[in-house]
Amino acid sequence: MKPINPKPSPRRYHQASWDEPVIFELSQPGQRGVLLPPVETGIEQEVGNPAQMLPDQLRRTVPPALPEMSQVHVLRHYDRISQENLGVDLNIDIGQGTCTMKYSPKINDQLAHTHKLTELHPLQDFSTVQGILEVMYRLEGMLKEISGMDRFSLQPGAGGAAIYANICMMRAYHASRGEGKQRDEVITTIFSHPSNAAAAKVAGYKVITLYPDSEGYPDLEALKAAVSERTAGLLITNPEDTGIFNPKIAEFTRIVHEAGGICSYDQANANGIIGITRAREAGFDLCHFNLHKTFSTPHGCGGPGAGASGVTEKLIPFLPVPTTEFDGQKYYLDYNRPKSIGKIRPFYGVTANILRSYAWIMSLGADGLREVAEIAVLNNNYLLKKVLEIRGVSAPYAKGKRRVEQVRYSWEQLTQETGVHSEEIEIRVTDFGMHYWTSHHPFVVPEPMTLEPTESYSKADLDEYVAVLNQISAEAYTNPEIIKTAPHNSTVHQTQQEPFDNPDEWAVTWRAYRRKTGKK
């Protein structure tokens, strides 16, 4: 039978829309989700009043302003929000370039949810947690092999925290040689992740940024002009977010070493090079991985992220405490490290994600890791070819060259010809249940779009994504209003952009929002 309403391509999509308020706005005075029973007399006699045990300065003078809600309202609230979401488990999530949105195998979640892990307490005696210590020790060994570094700390809670740990180690290294004050500048590139510049600023460094040369590669001559006796180090991503691998990376590290600096490799973009090139051979002293990108564990918003900081021999004394050790019979944690930078995060790292990463690597083996990189690169270059066939798109820099695992595209031509901007297309894409990200700021590539297909997606998935971009490009040339008035089928909002760049207006917490808008 012929269907009355055949399914078009790209597929139709309509997101649930609940106009759901912020949870604080749902609060009703007196409502409760759980009523705790009063403490039994026997227990109170035995323990006393715990509130009175708290030192005065730790007690609140006013109760916390938490929302007051019944259980069912809390449940509904989060169920509704979950329906207004997108993601790798729901659709083709290749638009968050540089974030490596690969599939997180569910069996690894099951492992992380077993009571053998969830019921552990970080203060248990070593002898009772040998299993997870062994996992941490063995994962460190794998990361050493993948990068060529001599030791790793798994303590950082995310990539940014790992970069910060690396900068702290770099600072401690220079201080140990009496050059801490003199070396107050770090060098990075505009297409490296901004977390490098940001973490360096937090650590008190002046930040020098290099712009690309005319081919889009980090400018070697600019680096030569930047290094001096004040150089503490180089913080660089490779491949950068353009998907272009810096072929002169060894020369970069050599020039910085000759000036007395330390080189730290941001390996957030490692997904196209694992098993192929290593930080050590490129001359780096430090590197970091995002376990939630390259090694498949869920990202920050879908669960905690996790970072890993790697060092060569000369920086080992400065690693965060504790390190995980093995004496031939038992695993233990070593806190006795006088030159350590201390802690980057409480305890030992995000152990659930450490376990997930370990399981993921074990399931693939060394050859499998290399295959991951090869498929990620193949997928990306297939996508590159298909996207460049879309009217109005280009891939600036390194003309005619292939890219590693992602590409920063430009809609500049389409903007000039139709007046439609990338930030508008970004919203229109959500009408198809998809999403993409433009670029970090400032937009060095005009009208940017950054796509990273990873190894998780099939050819059919990539074709479907391209079909959506193709349709939107055609709309821009024939009916731009449909893009300018988007979204039509999604709950994403058209927002005023301006408050986002003004610290006096932006608010990342409810309390800040109330303070800055004067709302009660």
Q: Which residues make up the interface to other proteins (CB under 8 A)?
A: 185, 190, 194, 197, 201, 205-212, 214, 219, 221-226, 419, 421, 423, 441-444, 446, 496-499, 501-503
Peptide bond into 212 cis (omega under 30): no
Q: Which is nearer to other proteins, 33 or 419 (CB)?
A: 419
Q: Which is nearer to other proteins, 212 or 272 (CB)?
A: 212
Smallest separation (angstroms) from other proteins to the CB of 424: 8
Question: 147 and 166 in contact (C-beta within 8 Å)?
Answer: no
d(CA 143, CA 152): 7
Hey, is 62 helix, strand or coil? coil
Place of tokens 């227990």: 43
d(CA 301, CA 486): 25
Q: Which is nearer to other proteins, 270 or 486 (CB)?
A: 486
Q: Where are the alpha helices (DSSP H) in 157-295?
A: 159-176, 194-202, 220-226, 249-258
Q: Which is nearer to other proteins, 200 or 350 (CB)?
A: 200
Smallest separation (angstroms) from other proteins to the CB of 492: 17
Q: Which is nearer to other proteins, 37 or 442 (CB)?
A: 442
- Segments of 223-337 assigned E as strands: 231-237, 262-266, 286-290, 307-311, 323-326, 331-334
Question: 234 and 186 in contact (C-beta within 8 Å)?
Answer: yes
Smallest separation (angstroms) from other proteins to the CB of 506: 10
Give the closest residue to 279 by CA, choosing from 300, 299, 308, 258: 308
Smallest separation (angstroms) from other proteins to the CB of 392: 16
DSSP state of 381: H
Q: Are strands 262-266 and 151-153 parallel, antiparallel or unpaired?
A: unpaired
Burial class (CB in 10 A: 0-12, 13-18, 19+), 166: buried
Smallest separation (angstroms) from other proteins to the CB of 98: 16
Print burial letters for 37-72: b (CB count within 10 Å at least 16), e (below 16). eeeeeeeeeeeeeeeeeeeeeeeeeeeeeebebeee
Smallest separation (angstroms) from other proteins to the CB of 178: 23
Smallest separation (angstroms) from other proteins to the CB of 327: 45
Give the closest residue to 324 by CA, choosing from 308, 304, 303: 308
Q: Which is nearer to other proteins, 90 or 225 (CB)?
A: 225
Smallest separation (angstroms) from other proteins to the CB of 308: 27
